[in-house]
Amino acid sequence: MRAAEKALRLAVRLTVFTALSVAGLRLVGTLLYWLSSNLLVTSVLAVFVTAVACNGLLMRIYEGAGLAQAGLGWNAVSRRNLVRGLAWGAGAALALIAGAVLSPAAEFQALATDSSGAPVILFVGLLLLLGAAGEEMLFHGYGFQILIRDVGPWAAILPVSALFAVAHTGNPDINLLGLVNTFGWGVLLGYAFWRSGDLWLPIGLHAGWNLALPLAGVPLSGFTMNLTGYAVRWKAGPLWSGGEYGLEGSILTSGILILLFVALWRMPLPRQTPFLLQAREEG
């Protein structure tokens, strides 16, 4: 295929994927808002439903394949990558919080209200897992993978990470460092796909971090959830705590992102060959 034809094909498919994603988020989000005015619930479900529909539809139309071939194939390696990602994401979050609480910077504080109880914790946990999976399919699914196939990994990872950061600018109380760290998360998660060859490692990293923060009593991307009846009270300033946005707006998260990236870069991982990248790798 000539370069001009290849570029046109990529542009058309990226445009269709982007247009369907934006339209789907607005349509599904509006429909869900009629059922529930809870911003977190409607946002998460809108992202997940839209991501599944767009990836599944375009994989079928353009590739003659199913949703599983968009990096979601389920096998022994995928299962290990999911568990590995959950452990790394949750471990990183808990290490930051433990370090802060063991230092003079922060302490655990009992809240005046009771904990949410097991049913609510399970519901929120499932919601956060779906949210992580939806965002990974949306930002590192079909569109991201064909971009890697045609222009290479870093030419795809960096601009998509910028879009990932922009998509979070509407979160409550986001700050500049939170925006920078969200870009860093986009780079880490995009690189996790490239290193593992599936979406399960980035889904695990994303979900592990997102699950650990609210369980430990820390705001998640500006959303405060009282799940356990305890919260982290910071004595240090917003540079360390992230302010109302939470740890993702903290310089501590900037440091842990660098450590996670180095660990991902150096650690030997079994790599699967993504369906959409097979032609590139075989060539």
Neighbour-count burial of 11, counting CB atoms closer than 10 A to its CB (0-12 exposed, 13-18 middle, 19+ buried): exposed
| Calpha distance 69→204 (Å, rounded) | 18
| Calpha distance 155→282 (Å, rounded) | 20
Would the pLDDT of 281 be above 70? no
Sign of CA pseudo-dihedral 143, 145, 150, 154: positive
Q: What is the pLDDT of residues 222-237, one digit of tens each?
A: 888 888 888 899 999 9
Domain residue limits, the chain = 76-282
Q: What is the pLDDT of residues 98-118, one digit of tens each?
A: 999 999 999 998 887 766 678
